[in-house]
Amino acid sequence: MNKKTNTLLFILAAMMVNIVITLIYFFIPYLFYSVFLAPRLPANSVVLSLALIFLAALAMSFITYQKLLKLFIKKVDVRKYFAPVLKDPTSRG
């Protein structure tokens, strides 16, 4: 496989990993909320609680994704296997 194919496959795999991480970070607190907190809280707090859980899941998945990406970059020589996604604005041609 060439560098462009490797780059495309990596982007697709990284996107899927990020989605799975986000879902995990969303559903675990959601299950905790629905079992323990929802019966004790008023019904109109459900929307706010779900929004907060979702935002927290996005933030935590972003942090986890960054850490995993830094670890991957340390382990793999990305210049050897992947093509740049964006062109360098300082390069000519």
Of 24, 23, 18, 45, give the one whose Cα is nearest residue 34.
45
Reported as a single tens digit per residue, the pLDDT across 8-19 is: 999 999 999 999
Would 86 be classed as within a structural domain?
no
In the prediction, which pLDDT does 73 show? 92
Q: Is the whole-model pTM more than 0.85?
A: no
**Total number of domains in the chain:** 1
In the prediction, which pLDDT does 79 show? 87
Dihedral sign, Cα of residue 7, residue 8, residue 12, residue 13: negative
Parent domain of 9 = 3-77
Q: Is the pLDDT of residue 91 over 70?
A: no
Reported as a single tens digit per residue, the pLDDT across 36-73 is: 998 898 988 889 999 999 999 999 999 999 999 999 99
Would 44 be classed as within a structural domain?
yes
Would 92 be classed as within a structural domain?
no
Rounded to a whole number of angstroms, the CA Rg of the chain reads 19
CA distance linking residue 93 with residue 87, whole number of Å? 10
Q: Is the pLDDT of residue 93 over 60?
A: no
Would 83 be classed as within a structural domain?
no
